[in-house]
């Protein structure tokens, strides 16, 4: 798919981090971008900077996503592109002992469900509702109607201690990418996913500095965390290479995560 001002895109989780970098890159290519996120202040500010439209959205809600898509389509027309970046992280052992008191605690189920709701069901919700709109579009000369990129994680392959919910949600995103690509094959909508390693975003920065340094040291080459722009570069490749379909690509500097 050619990326220019004839194409419009939805990017979820676009107020910050990998989604923001993706929105910036797509806008720089002329694509009309709608930024969907819970964070209104950061999203509106970025939308103003890049000439996009911000649409307040919670990917865990049917009604909220439908309202945001309607608003985005009113401003930019039916999207041919969807990039799913909205995501949350939460860490807790399935069951374990408190380091200080020795008390036994298990994973808080409400948090487990929230991670699955946002990362897995939220991604699927946006795919299903966005693709339903793409089906109304005429095909491009390439035969395509649209292209979708999901964000999984290397935790889908090697989740660390405490990552049961996060790894399960991301393995779900990775696992559903091929069957959804197959669902849409007859309609000309491609679906791919990215498994990022460690990227320099607000999500990564929530951890302590020594953890970040340890993460950097664990990356074989380049010995650093990834820049969000490098993620956006791969999104662009997956959108523009018409033969890429049903694939989940690692982007990680060859890192393989240890148990903790």
Residues that bind ligand NAD (CB under 6 A): 12-13, 15-19, 37-39, 57-60, 85-88, 118-119, 122, 151, 153, 196, 198-199, 201-204
To the nearest whole angstrom, how small is the minimum distance from the Cβ of residue 108 to ligand NAD?
Answer: 18
HSE-CB at 113 with a 13 A cutoff on CA atoms is 3
To the nearest whole angstrom, how small is the minimum distance from the Cβ of residue 17 to ligand NAD?
Answer: 2
Check: CB of residue 195 under 8 Å from CB of residue 248. yes
- Residue closer to ligand NAD by CB (options 145, 151) is 151
To the nearest whole angstrom, how small is the minimum distance from the Cβ of residue 136 to ligand NAD?
Answer: 24
- Cα–Cα distance measured from residue 25 to residue 232, given in angstroms and rounded to the nearest whole number: 6
Residue 231 vs residues 21, 37, 39, 127: alpha-carbon distances, Å: 8, 18, 21, 20
- Residue closer to ligand NAD by CB (options 8, 153) is 153
- Residue closer to ligand NAD by CB (options 173, 189) is 173
To the nearest whole angstrom, how small is the minimum distance from the Cβ of residue 205 to ligand NAD?
Answer: 8
Fill in the DSSP letter of residue 222.
S
What stretches of the chain adopt beta strand conformation (E)? 8-12, 32-37, 53-56, 81-84, 95-97, 104-106, 146-151, 189-196, 248-251
- Residue closer to ligand NAD by CB (options 47, 145) is 47
To the nearest whole angstrom, how small is the minimum distance from the Cβ of residue 151 to ligand NAD?
Answer: 4
- Residue closer to ligand NAD by CB (options 131, 165) is 165
Span between the terminal Cα atoms of the chain, in Å: 40
Which tokens belong to 79? 């999207």
Check: CB of residue 191 under 8 Å from CB of residue 179. no
To the nearest whole angstrom, how small is the minimum distance from the Cβ of residue 40 to ligand NAD?
Answer: 9
Check: CB of residue 93 under 8 Å from CB of residue 157. no
Contacts of 29 (CB under 8 A, 6+ apart): 3, 4, 236
Catalytically annotated residue among 107, 112, 166, 243: 166
For 211, the enclosing helix (H) or strand (E) is helix 209-218
- Cα–Cα distance measured from residue 230 to residue 199, given in angstroms and rounded to the nearest whole number: 9
Residue 243 annotated in active site: no
- Residue closer to ligand NAD by CB (options 187, 237) is 237
For residue 8, how many other CB atoms are within 10 A of its CB?
21
Which positions are catalytic?
166
């Amino acid at each position: 798919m050619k990326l220019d001002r004839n194409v419009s895109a939805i990017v979820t989780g676009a107020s910050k981090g990998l989604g923001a970098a993706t929105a910036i890159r797509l806008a720089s290519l002329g694509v009309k971008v709608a930024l969907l996120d819970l964070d209104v202040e950061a999203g509106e500010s970025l939308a103003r900077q890049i000439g996009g439209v911000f649409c307040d959205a919670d990917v865990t809600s049917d009604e909220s996503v439908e309202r945001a898509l309607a608003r985005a389509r009113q401003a930019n027309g039916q999207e041919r592109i969807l990039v799913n970046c909205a995501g949350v992280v939460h860490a807790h052992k399935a069951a374990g002992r408190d380091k200080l008191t020795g008390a036994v605690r298990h994973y808080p189920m409400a948090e487990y469900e929230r991670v699955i709701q946002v990362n897995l069901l939220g991604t699927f919700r946006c795919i299903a509702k966005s693709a339903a709109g793409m089906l109304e579009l005429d095909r491009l000369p390439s035969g395509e109607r649209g292209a979708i990129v999901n964000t999984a994680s290397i935790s889908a392959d090697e989740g660390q201690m405490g990552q049961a919910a996060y790894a399960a949600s991301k393995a779900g995103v990775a696992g559903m990418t091929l069957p959804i690509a197959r669902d849409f094959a007859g309609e000309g909508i491609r679906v791919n996913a990215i498994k990022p390693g460690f990227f320099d975003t607000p999500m990564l920065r929530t951890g302590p500095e020594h953890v970040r340094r340890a993460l950097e040291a664990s990356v074989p080459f380049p010995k650093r965390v990834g820049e969000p722009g490098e993620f956006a570069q791969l999104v662009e490749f997956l959108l523009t290479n018409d033969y890429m379909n049903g694939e989940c690509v690692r982007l990680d500097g060859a890192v393989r995560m240890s148990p903790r």
